[in-house]
């Protein structure tokens, strides 16, 4: 009976966490460059139940002399959310006609042989705490000093790892990432490549960081990696609102079903203690 309590409780906790994840995806459906989180749910190892009887010949497997063991079958012990991983697929592009808005367009991104997933590219940002941060949100602007920054005020870096300083918003960005002022190239937008993006840590409103603190390599010049940059566009989030709402309803129904089972266990325990116990 008590084992059933634990099994049902694990299911409720898992569905609650899944609902929170999906709610966060819905809340960021309109956040430029946001990558939807996906959950991986696994079951705890099953228990093999056996019945030991006193009758029968001696059995070394049971550990009891003169007993026999009969296998009943496997018993599930609940589920848990193993991990959450972002979906790095390309979001739709939306025209804004703002010169400081930039969108990365995936070209050829090699498939990693170990994971079976494609790599990912990101804009390079200067992390105030040290090192670099990465984003797909190209909704940039100019600060008072003319530096290109993101919404959190992080400096956008060039391919040389330096801040990009502009005179005004009268500049052009070519498809290869070159930043032009008065027909003269002053910098190249910094773009990094990760062959295993699932190892990145997602924090701070959609910013990504390496787990070991090391900077990702530049995406320029890597074999078989191709991409382009579009000025006056932003990449929308890749959240599928309709599918996410359906998944939320499924998670809610699963939580509700576990809740009803828990209530049934509670009523059974109540009878066992207050009614059967009296006899």
- For the entire predicted model, the pTM comes to 0.80
Question: Facing residues of 233 across strands?
Answer: 95
Report domain extents, the chain: 2-42+77-84+240-278, 88-235
For residue 251, give Cα distances in angstroms to 25, 35, 80, 110, 266: 14, 20, 13, 34, 23
- The tens digit of pLDDT for each residue in 19-68 reads 999 999 999 999 999 999 998 888 887 777 777 776 555 454 545 555 67
Instruction: Map residue 236 onto helix, strand or coil.
Output: coil
Which residues of the chain, if any, have pLDDT below 70?
1-2, 54-67, 276-279
- Position 278 scores a pLDDT of 62
Q: Give the helix/strand (H/E) hosting 65.
A: none
Under DSSP, the state recorded for 168 is S
- Position 53 scores a pLDDT of 74
């Amino acid at each position: 009976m008590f084992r059933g309590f634990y099994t049902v409780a694990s299911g409720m906790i898992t569905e609650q966490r899944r609902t929170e994840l999906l709610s966060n995806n819905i809340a960021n459906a309109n956040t430029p460059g946001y990558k939807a989180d996906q959950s991986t749910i696994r079951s705890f190892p099953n228990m093999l139940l056996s019945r030991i009887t006193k009758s029968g010949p001696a059995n070394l497997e049971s550990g009891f002399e003169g007993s026999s063991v009969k296998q009943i079958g496997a018993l599930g012990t609940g589920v848990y959310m193993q991990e959450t991983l972002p979906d790095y697929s390309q979001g739709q592009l939306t025209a804004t006609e703002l010169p400081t808005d930039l969108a990365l367009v995936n070209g050829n991104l090699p498939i990693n042989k170990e994971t079976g997933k494609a790599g990912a590219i990101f804009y390079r940002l200067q992390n105030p705490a040290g090192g670099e941060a990465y984003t797909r949100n190209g909704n940039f602007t100019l600060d008072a000093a003319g530096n290109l920054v993101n919404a959190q005020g992080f400096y956008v870096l060039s391919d040389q790892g330096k801040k990009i300083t502009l005179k005004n918003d009268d500049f052009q960005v070519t498809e290869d990432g070159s930043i032009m002022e008065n027909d003269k190239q002053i910098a190249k937008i910094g773009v990094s490549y990760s062959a295993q993006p699932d190892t990145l840590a997602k924090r701070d409103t959609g910013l990504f960081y390496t787990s070991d603190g090391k900077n990702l390599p530049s995406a320029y010049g890597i074999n078989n990696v191709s991409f382009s940059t579009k000025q006056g566009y932003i990449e929308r989030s890749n959240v599928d609102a309709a599918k996410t709402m359906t998944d939320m309803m499924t998670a809610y129904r699963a939580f509700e079903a576990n809740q009803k089972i828990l209530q049934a266990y509670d009523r059974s325990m109540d009878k066992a203690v207050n009614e059967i116990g009296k006899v």
